[in-house]
Chains A and B, each alone.
Chain A
């Protein structure tokens, strides 16, 4: 991955992208939250759909990060990337739902695997 190319490669261009493509479409939902206030029914069909889409989107982002890795991660085989994330989630479930414990276990599996494969 050579990174960003073309007109958006400069720092200023990237900052502009953060504002236009990142900040505005994201912040609008905080503004909506302030404006609609309590009239929002958290259990309405609309809100349940919204939650499902947001969840699926994050799952898709995770899948993309795992399938098309960047930087040093390219050298790690896909099975090890998946195994590390899988053991992180399993660790979370086993270790009394500790986020930190799960993350650490996933990382230990990854580092041990990478070391065993002689990566880096």
Chain B
């Protein structure tokens, strides 16, 4: 599957055509069916397996997909609730994990800004921004005429959310009926794909250090008071990585 041409020009955008707003929405919807979209679907199947494994209601799992639309934060929420983490500590960890959305929105939004843009429309479009949308948006949106971009983005983002929600449902219902090794495979899908995506996104030394510090610190602070383990591992590990990278940079 890796041979699919996901770098080349998307076929639906190869020839500049004039669509209505609905047409651009439909074009965005069609663009979901791509390798990144399918990987996303599979990861959300894993999330569905996770929520069924810890006894989290499907409705709330679907709601989290539509409203949060950020898998790491969703996994923090569900695994934290299952582990009995205190709610303020959970909110703090989710808040820390969400900071990475800001630069993504900042990167995608200028592409979306039409001639008559208002802040509410921008907030609505920004909701669809997450890592897949960020990557795909930067690749595809410049090829769409400016007036079609908001509709295209909503089609692409909404389609990705819908696909992911289907994935959650599939994972939720399938886990129990799968034979042992396959159920296990479904539950490990999230950690495997997260690890690979983290390695893919790591470019500077601070990224690699943060990856290692977070991973190593997590078991060491697992029993910290108030359920603040993710706060210490994430905030502490990230800060250490940031400082160490600065020191390394200065020494070099």
**Residues of chain A at the chain B interface (Cβ within 8 Å):** 1-4, 8, 10-11, 14-15, 17-38, 40, 42, 45, 47-73, 75-76, 81, 84-85, 88-89, 92-93, 95-103, 106-107, 110-111, 114-115, 119-120
Chain A, Cβ-Cβ closest to B53: A71
Distance, CA A19 to CA B63, complexed state (A): 8
List A contacts of B90 (CB < 8 A). Answer: 21
**Inter-subunit contact B191/A66 (CB<8 Å):** yes
Chain A, Cβ-Cβ closest to B219: A67
Q: Which of B96, B110, B119, B212 contacts A38 (CB 8 A)?
A: B110
- Given A25-B95, A55-B210, A76-B184, 10 further pairs, Cβ under 8 A: A14-B81, A19-B67, A26-B95, A26-B101, A42-B106, A48-B204, A56-B213, A56-B235, A57-B235, A63-B214
List B contacts of A11 (CB < 8 A). Answer: 57, 59-60
User: Within the complex, what minimum Cβ distance (angstroms) separates A112 from chain B?
Assistant: 8
Chain B, Cβ-Cβ closest to A3: B55
Distance, CA A106 to CA B190, complexed state (A): 11
Distance, CA A119 to CA B184, complexed state (A): 9
Q: Identify which of B25-33, B143-151, B238-246 touches chain A.
A: B238-246
**Inter-subunit contact B214/A56 (CB<8 Å):** yes
The 9 A-B residue pairs with the shortest CB-CB distance, nearest first, are A120-B180, A3-B55, A33-B105, A71-B53, A57-B234, A53-B238, A59-B214, A56-B214, A60-B233
A-B contact pairs, 10 of them (CB 8 A): A4-B55, A29-B101, A52-B238, A55-B214, A62-B198, A72-B180, A85-B195, A98-B2, A99-B200, A114-B180
**Inter-subunit contact B60/A14 (CB<8 Å):** yes
List A contacts of B219 (CB < 8 A). Answer: 63, 67
Q: Which of B98, B126, B238, B242 contacts A26 (CB 8 A)?
A: B98
User: Within the complex, what minimum Cβ distance (angstroms) separates A2 from chain B?
Assistant: 7
User: Within the complex, what minimum Cβ distance (angstroms) separates B143 from chain A?
Assistant: 22
Q: Does B10 contact A (CB under 8 A)?
A: no
Distance, CA A98 to CA B2, complexed state (A): 6
Assign chain B's interface to a size class: 35 or more
Distance, CA A2 to CA B54, complexed state (A): 7
**Inter-subunit contact A59/B73 (CB<8 Å):** no
Q: Does B163 contact A (CB under 8 A)?
A: no
**Inter-subunit contact B230/A34 (CB<8 Å):** no
Distance, CA A57 to CA B211, complexed state (A): 8
Distance, CA A57 to CA B99, complexed state (A): 11
Chain B, Cβ-Cβ closest to A98: B2
Given the contacts A26-B70, A36-B106, A4 and B81 also touching, CB distance less than 8 Å: yes
**Inter-subunit contact B56/A85 (CB<8 Å):** no
Q: Does B193 contact A (CB under 8 A)?
A: yes
Given the contacts A56-B234, A63-B215, A111-B182, A29 and B98 also touching, CB distance less than 8 Å: yes
Q: Which of A19, A29, A75, A99 contacts B180 (CB 8 A)?
A: A75
**Inter-subunit contact B122/A61 (CB<8 Å):** no
